[in-house]
């Protein structure tokens, strides 16, 4: 008997696009925190999260905290959707019962997703960073599609993939931190701590994934953000970004860690809660496995000779 569409059923399996939908919904809530993270990573002066927020609101108003929201949405439907879709496909074609297998699959999914989302990622950084620039130096993209067109016209389409390599690496590490750690944490909480597969378990697993994802990716995230936001000729390559960042001290690679974690934690929790809700209400029920009946010739024939049967019993 099939379950009514939209009814709760823990047996349901996630559809390939649920990750992108849930991630975009979470991004609407956490976008201001993402903007603060980018600003703190690219600024030379040392301002706290609160001080940076006050400066933006005072100079440009509250709505400035949502600068780049169109690019953020495009990023969710390229980067996030791709990595979840690849991971979803992989779970149907390989065994992911161990952490090492989860890490392998998540890394591959994140690598593909990071490259696919690189153009949106670049525009997201630029639109957000415009807030802190002097008026004469702002790019003033109207929205993400205006940014796409202008980058192609003014810099060449190749510049849409400026920093795509580091974005792919960052996507790989973040997906390992988020998806692999979330799935493994969820399995361990259920198997070893006797927790039910419910919201409490999902929240705890999401918090673990957020901490893991932020800690693993923060140095790469700083380098990626600076590379994507650079003016033409500012850096000669990724190694130059690493060297110049290192000159500011080792802690420069963890600039914006607090706002990054503050942003990623609610985003990760909301994203995975959204995925679990979509899965348990709108996912599909897996087809029952067909059990093959034995071939008639494989069934042992009954012993018809009673004397032989008696001899076998002896």
Q: How confident is the model at residue 95, as a pLDDT?
A: 94
Q: Please enumerate in sequence order all residues whose Cβ is within 8 A of that of 187, keeping only pairs 6 or more positions apart, or say none.
A: none
In this model, does residue 309 exceed pLDDT 80? no
What pTM did the predictor assign? Answer: 0.79
Structure tokens at 279: 């899965």
The reply to whether 179 falls in a domain is yes
The reply to whether 9 falls in a domain is no
* Top-confidence residue, 107 or 263: 107
Of 158-162, 189-193, 228-232, 250-254, where does the model show the most confidence? Answer: 189-193
The reply to whether 263 falls in a domain is yes
Structure tokens at 242: 């690493």
Q: How confident is the model at residue 49, as a pLDDT?
A: 79
Rounded-to-integer distance, Cα 199 and Cα 273, Å: 7
The reply to whether 290 falls in a domain is yes
> Count of domains in the chain?
1
In this model, does residue 293 exceed pLDDT 60? no
Query: Considering the chain, what percentage of its residues have pLDDT values greater than 70?
Result: 89
Rounded-to-integer distance, Cα 99 and Cα 299, Å: 41
Q: Which of 223, 116, 126 is nearest to 166 (CA)?
A: 223
CATH of the domain at 291: 1.50.40.10
The reply to whether 5 falls in a domain is no
Q: What is the pLDDT of residues 82-98, one digit of tens each?
A: 999 999 999 999 999 99
Rounded-to-integer distance, Cα 65 and Cα 43, Å: 16
Containing structural domain, residue 155: 18-313
The reply to whether 1 falls in a domain is no
Query: What mean pLDDT do residues 167-178 have?
Result: 94
The reply to whether 13 falls in a domain is no
Minimum mean pLDDT among 3-12, 27-36, 114-123: which range? 3-12
Q: How confident is the model at residue 135, as a pLDDT?
A: 83
In this model, does residue 25 exceed pLDDT 90? yes
For the chain, give the mean pLDDT: 87
Q: How confident is the model at residue 311, as a pLDDT?
A: 46
The reply to whether 4 falls in a domain is no
Rounded-to-integer distance, Cα 129 and Cα 33, Å: 13
Rounded-to-integer distance, Cα 149 and Cα 156, Å: 10
* Top-confidence residue, 80 or 309: 80
Rounded-to-integer distance, Cα 173 and Cα 216, Å: 7
Minimum mean pLDDT among 46-60, 206-220, 232-246, 298-312: which range? 298-312
Rounded-to-integer distance, Cα 196 and Cα 186, Å: 10
> How far separated are the first and last CA of the chain, in Å rounded?
51
Rounded-to-integer distance, Cα 302 and Cα 147, Å: 79
H or E element in which residue 308 lies: helix 306-313
> Is the separation of the CB atoms in 84 and 179 below 8 Å?
yes
């Amino acid at each position: 008997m099939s379950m009514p569409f939209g009814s709760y059923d823990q047996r349901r399996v996630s559809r390939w696009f649920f990750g992108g939908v849930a991630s975009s919904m979470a991004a609407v809530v956490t976008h201001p925190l993402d903007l603060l993270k980018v600003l703190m990573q690219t600024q030379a002066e040392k301002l706290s999260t609160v001080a940076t927020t006050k400066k933006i609101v005072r100079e440009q108003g509250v709505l400035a905290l949502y600068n780049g929201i169109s690019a953020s949405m495009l990023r969710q439907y390229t980067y996030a959707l791709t990595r979840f879709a690849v991971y979803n496909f992989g779970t149907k074609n390989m065994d992911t019962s161990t952490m090492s297998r989860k890490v392998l699959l998540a890394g591959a999914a994140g690598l593909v997703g990071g490259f696919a989302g690189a153009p949106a990622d670049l525009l997201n950084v630029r639109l957000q960073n415009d807030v802190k620039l002097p008026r004469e130096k702002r790019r003033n993209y109207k929205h993400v599609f205006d940014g796409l067109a202008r980058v192609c016209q003014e810099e060449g389409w190749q510049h849409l993939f400026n920093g795509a390599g580091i974005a792919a690496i960052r996507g790989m590490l973040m997906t390992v931190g988020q998806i692999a750690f979330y799935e493994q944490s969820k399995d361990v909480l259920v198997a070893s701590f006797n927790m039910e597969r419910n919201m409490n378990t999902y929240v705890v697993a999401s918090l673990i994934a957020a901490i893991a994802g932020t800690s693993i990716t923060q140095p790469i995230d700083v380098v990626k953000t600076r590379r994507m936001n650079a003016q033409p000729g500012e850096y000669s390559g990724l190694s130059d970004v690493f060297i110049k960042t290192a000159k500011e001290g080792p802690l420069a690679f963890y600039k914006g860690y607090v706002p990054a974690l503050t942003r990623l934690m609610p985003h990760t929790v909301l994203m995975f809660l959204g995925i679990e809700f979509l899965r348990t209400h709108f996912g599909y029920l897996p087809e029952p496995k067909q059990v093959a009946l034995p071939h008639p010739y494989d069934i042992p024939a009954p012993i018809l000779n009673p004397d032989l049967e008696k001899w076998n019993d002896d």
